[in-house]
Amino acid sequence: MGKDREKLVVIGNGMAGISAVEQILKLTTKFDITVIGSEPHPNYNRIMLSYVLEGSKTIDDIVLNDLGWYKDNGITLHMGRAVAKIDELNKEVITIDGLKVPFDKVIIATGSNSFILPIPGSNKEGVVGFRDIADCNQMLDAAKCYKKAAVIGGGLLGLEAAKGLVQLGMDVTVVHLMEDLMERQLDHQAASMLKAELERQGIKFKMGAQTVELLGDARVSGLRFADDTVLDAEFVVMAVGIKPNITVAKDSGLEVNRGIVVNDYMQTSMEGVYSVGECTEHRGTCYGLVAPLFEQGMILAKHISGVETVPYEGSIVSTKLKISGVDVFSTGEFIDGPEHTVIANKDDWKRTYKKIILKDNVMVGAVLFGDITDSAQLQKLIKLKTVMTDDLYASLMGTGCCGGEGKKGISVDTMSNDEIVCGCNGVTKGTIVDVITNQGLTTVDEIKACTGATRSCGGCKPVVEQILQYVLGDEFKTAAKQGICGCTTLSRDEIVAEIKDKGLQTTKEVMNVLGWSQTEGCSKCRPAINYYLGMIYPDTHEDEKQSRFVNERMNANIQKDGTYTVVPRMYGGVTTPEDLKKIADVSLKYDVKVVKVTGGQRLDLIGVKKEDLPKVWEELDMPSGYAYAKSLRTVKTCVGSQFCRFGTQDSMGMGAILERKFERLDFPAKFKLAVNGCPRNCAESCTKDIGIVGNDGGWEIFVGGNGGIKARLADSLCKVKTDEELIEICGAIMQFYRETGNYLERTSEWVERIGLDRIKAVVVDDIDGRKALMERIEFALKQVEDPWKKALRDKEQTGKLFNGLEMSNQL
């Protein structure tokens, strides 16, 4: 590509290097760009790994630039390759495996590595850092096999790792050398409040403890401390700090100290070679937080592109803790001394704390706990070295004449265009103003899709909204209406009404007629529209497989190694010896890695190759358990009155009836039931979408339970006396949820949004309405059948032979 264009090689495929590339692409087309990354992944948001660990996001969710982005921008990408050195004489970047890439300019963005304590046992199995996807995967795997974990380090990364492991069900103790958590960012008061809140969330702490040895044989079994006490642990996360990854620079003869030494334009000691991010040392400082790397990247991009720029003079760093339910912020100076004036407010009832530090009446630092609404404003004021005034004090501390109601937000009109609004993704005010002005964007979701602002932690959303209001003026209120995604301003109810009113039949027709801003839609709206069409027209809508998620297209759950898991249906958790033999035979024949008993009382065949999926299903000759689908997953049961001496109702029989009756049908999100034969609740009805508990007089029905990330106990809906009434009310609940639920909204959220009283009025009190709902779900059930059964039947009818790839494309 482009004989006359300069060759730019970027060493490192992380946030710093690719952020700089994004800025360069906006400024010039003079470079042919090659990116070499040591990880086998496209560019992803490393600071979101804590959300992946706790389960609220997937690896796909945190990818910043997918493979298509590199292709669209003409970037050559080498993943899973490490660079050995930069050959200055021959102008080549050389990888460890021998690849030679010619260059005119180089950007080193190799980031940092976890600092592993040099103590006996630190190389044992079960000891990891927390820096990348590989570390995250090790932690996820460990949580499946082990119970006790220790996290060494009570800083930002350590606490995020600890919370993630607690969410995964581990017994976690944070071991910290100091007496205060996050002592490099928080004062004693905020640290104490943070510790108390995290203890409420299930994390244990051992403070003031120096780890001197990791115990165990091949695998770690515990920690020994300087006072000779011991803590049992089967898994240890080292989160005591990071060290710049300077190996390539050092081996290439560049000037290095703690990091790669650069000047104010991010140039290293080698001609044409730049450095950016955590591997970089500027004026004696290495930054381990995300905002400075974006500030560095913007200076670098302008300089390398030949655009005039101010020099980089360092960054005022700020910190936010990314743990659900804990809001902590710190910027600038946070420990007050005799030379400081301190403004502080602590509210024990609301568990909030705010401290602003002044030096000669100039704002130099702040700490927030519990309420970080003012974080963006404080960061800006401290960066600008703002003098405190009575009006500013009243605004920040909520003591104005309006009792705080007139409190001002950040003044976006005084922000410079180069000021970073989204620290996670390096998006500036100027970029946001530009897309609003030149591309006509009018919503936060549209800005998120276009620029990346707010797509990670979401902390910058208030500022983005203020910029929208600032640019649009009076048009903001009408433009601010949010739709189901950034492609439309229409809500779920409006889309459904338009489909019915206009008789729209396909996803493309919906997007075209209703004026989608992106003609192909996105991964959020396409599956939703496909579901709404199927719900409205169960007999005529042809399911659009291209609008389904990959697991639903393949009828199996894809795993991180590219193989699949297959889950056959076991009605009510009950199976036969004949079906067990089939499962065993198929597992042996197709080299299934593991057969696991699932939480829903089924068997999961883990490790099936994609090409074997059709044969596996054919030889099992069992219905799909829909472990991959937005549909009825399982009906969990206890043994009930058939076998249990406490059982009052036939829970196994009822569970099988409900599962057979309502399987195959699409829902807004996955759907689970449980049936207990008595109130002892062995099948855990309290955490299911519909939970059923038997008693001497009949059944009690519960709704809206969730045992996942957002745990919620189910609400008691009603009691019934007969099996027929139970089945009818369950069917009515399902259909009412199908017709009113937002796509991907679990019943736990749906119940809180719709209200239990309304649900009861519709499916319990209104008998005619209930019967109408049941008729509609019965009609929908008649239109569907198991996808593999259908595919195999079609094969028999047509005589067509097809291989696994053809079949996966059909399905």
pLDDT digits (tens, 9 = 90+) for 371-398: 887 887 888 889 888 999 988 888 888 7
Q: Are residues 654 and 707 in the same domain?
A: yes
CB 157 within 8 A of CB 165: no
Tokens 């990330």, residue located = 709
Same domain, 696 and 741: yes
Instruction: Please report, for the domain that includes residue 78, its CATH number.
Output: 3.50.50.60
**Residue 678 annotated as part of some ligand binding site:** yes
Strand order in the sheet with 352-359: 318-320, 328-332, 362-369, 352-359, 341-347
- 182 vs 400 pLDDT, higher one: 182
Same domain, 458 and 339: no
Residue 793 falls inside a structural domain: no
Domain final position from 258, 274, 305: 305
Which of 241, 238, 39 is closest to 123 using CA atoms? 238
Q: Which of 207-211, 347-351, 469-473, 474-478 has the lowest mean pLDDT?
A: 474-478
Q: Region 134-151: what's the mean pLDDT?
A: 93
| Residues 133, 221 share a domain | yes
* Per-residue confidence (pLDDT) for residue 797, from 0 to 100: 45
Q: What is the pLDDT of residue 705?
A: 93
- The answer to whether residue 311 is domain-embedded is no
Please give the pLDDT value at position 444. 81
Containing domain of residue 143, as a range? 127-240
**Alpha-carbon dihedral of residues 552, 555, 557, 562, nearest 10 degrees?**
-100
Q: What is the pLDDT of residues 481-526, one digit of tens each?
A: 567 887 888 888 889 999 999 999 999 999 989 988 887 888 788 8
pLDDT computed for residue 407 by the predictor: 44
State mean pLDDT over 189-201: 92
pLDDT of residue 808: 33
Chosen domain end from 240, 257, 280: 240
One-letter identity of residue 69: W
pLDDT at residue 609, as a whole number: 87
pLDDT band at 751 (very low <50, low <70, confident <90, very high): very high
* pLDDT at position 800 over 60: no
Cβ 370 vs Cβ 348: under 8 Å: no
Q: Compute the average pLDDT of residues 691-696.
A: 89
d(CA 113, CA 446): 35
Instruction: Give the three-state DSSP class for 602.
Output: coil
Average of pLDDT values for 742-761?
91
Q: How confident is the model at residue 237 (pLDDT cuts 50, 70, 90)?
A: very high
How much is the pLDDT for 320? 74
Residues 171 and 235 in one domain: yes
Are residue 766 and residue 644 in the same domain, yes or no?
yes
Is 682 annotated in a binding site? The answer is: yes
Question: How confident is the prediction for the chain on average, in pLDDT?
Answer: 86
Q: What angle do CA 515, 521, 522 make, to 5 degrees?
A: 145
Question: How many distinct structural domains can be found in the chain?
Answer: 6
390/464 same-domain check: no
The pLDDT assigned to 641 comes to 87
The residue with greater pLDDT, 503 or 403, is 503
- The β-bridge partners of 3 are none
Does the pLDDT at position 805 exceed 50? no
What is the model's pLDDT at position 811? 30
d(CA 661, CA 723): 13
Instruction: Determine, yes or no, domain membership for 596.
Output: no
Mean pLDDT of 150-174: 92
Strands 100-102 and 211-216, by their bridges, are unpaired
Return d(Cα 725, Cα 729) in angstroms, integer. 6
Residue finishing a domain among 216, 240, 264? 240
pLDDT for 567 equals 84
Give pLDDT, residue 417.
82
| Weakest-pLDDT range from 67-81, 228-242, 397-411 | 397-411
| Res 315: pLDDT | 85
What CATH number is associated with residue 731? 3.30.413.10
Q: Which residue has the higher pLDDT, 551 or 538?
A: 538
Mean pLDDT of 424-434: 83
**One domain for residues 530 and 661:** no
Percent above pLDDT 70 for the chain: 92
| pLDDT band, residue 597 (cuts 50/70/90) | confident
Task: Say if 791 falls within a structural domain.
Answer: no
Q: What is the pLDDT of residue 391?
A: 86
For 587-601, 675-689, 737-751, which range has the lowest pLDDT when averaged over its residues?
Answer: 587-601
- Return the pLDDT at 786: 55
Statement to judge: residues 370 and 388 lie in one domain: yes
Is the model's pLDDT at 277 over the cut of 90? yes
pLDDT at residue 499, as a whole number: 92
* Nearest one of 484, 411, 488, 409 to 442, comparing CA atoms: 488
**Is residue 763 scored above 90 in pLDDT?**
yes
The reported pLDDT for the residue numbered 58 is 84
Q: What integer pLDDT is reported at residue 207 of this predicted model?
A: 96
pLDDT band at 6 (very low <50, low <70, confident <90, very high): very high
The answer on 358 and 222 residing in a single domain is: no
pTM: 0.59
Alpha-carbon gap, residue 125 to 769, rounded angstroms: 60
| Of 374, 460, 370, 366, the residue nearest 409 (C-alpha) | 374
What pLDDT is attached to residue 496? Answer: 92
> What would the mean pLDDT of 684-696 be, rounded to a whole number?
90
430 φ, ψ (degrees, to nearest 5): -60, -40
Q: What share of the chain is helix, strand, coil (3-state, %, to 5)?
A: 35, 20, 40
Shared domain for 713 and 743, answered yes or no, is yes
* Structure token pair of residue 701: 């029905």
Give the model confidence (pLDDT) of 282-332 as tens digits: 999 999 878 789 889 999 999 999 999 999 999 877 777 766 567 888 999
Which range, of 400-409, 486-495, 533-542, 664-673, averages the lowest pLDDT? 400-409
**Is 810 within a domain?**
no
Task: Identify whether 320 is part of a domain.
Answer: no
Instruction: Look up residue 344 and give its two tokens.
Output: 């502080």
Q: What confidence score (pLDDT) does residue 79 get?
A: 96
Q: What is the pLDDT of residues 764-798, one digit of tens each?
A: 999 999 999 999 999 998 887 655 455 445 445 43
User: Do 222 and 232 contact (CB within 8 A), yes or no?
Assistant: yes
Query: Is pLDDT larger for residue 472 or for residue 276?
Result: 276
Rounded CA-CA distance 528/539 in Å is: 18
Same domain, 254 and 235: no
Provide the 10 A C-beta neighbour count for residue 502.
12
Instruction: Give me the count of residues in the chain.
Output: 811
CATH code at 460?
1.10.10.1100
C-alpha 97, offset from chain centre: 34
pLDDT at 553: 72
159 within domain boundaries: yes
We report the CATH number of the domain holding residue 365 as 3.30.390.30
pLDDT at residue 550 is higher than 70: no
- Is 697 within the bounds of a domain? yes
Distances (CA, A) of 808 to 312, 551, 566, 625, 651: 53, 11, 14, 17, 37
pLDDT of the residue at 142: 92
Query: Once rounded to an integer, what is the mean pLDDT over residues 639-643?
Result: 86
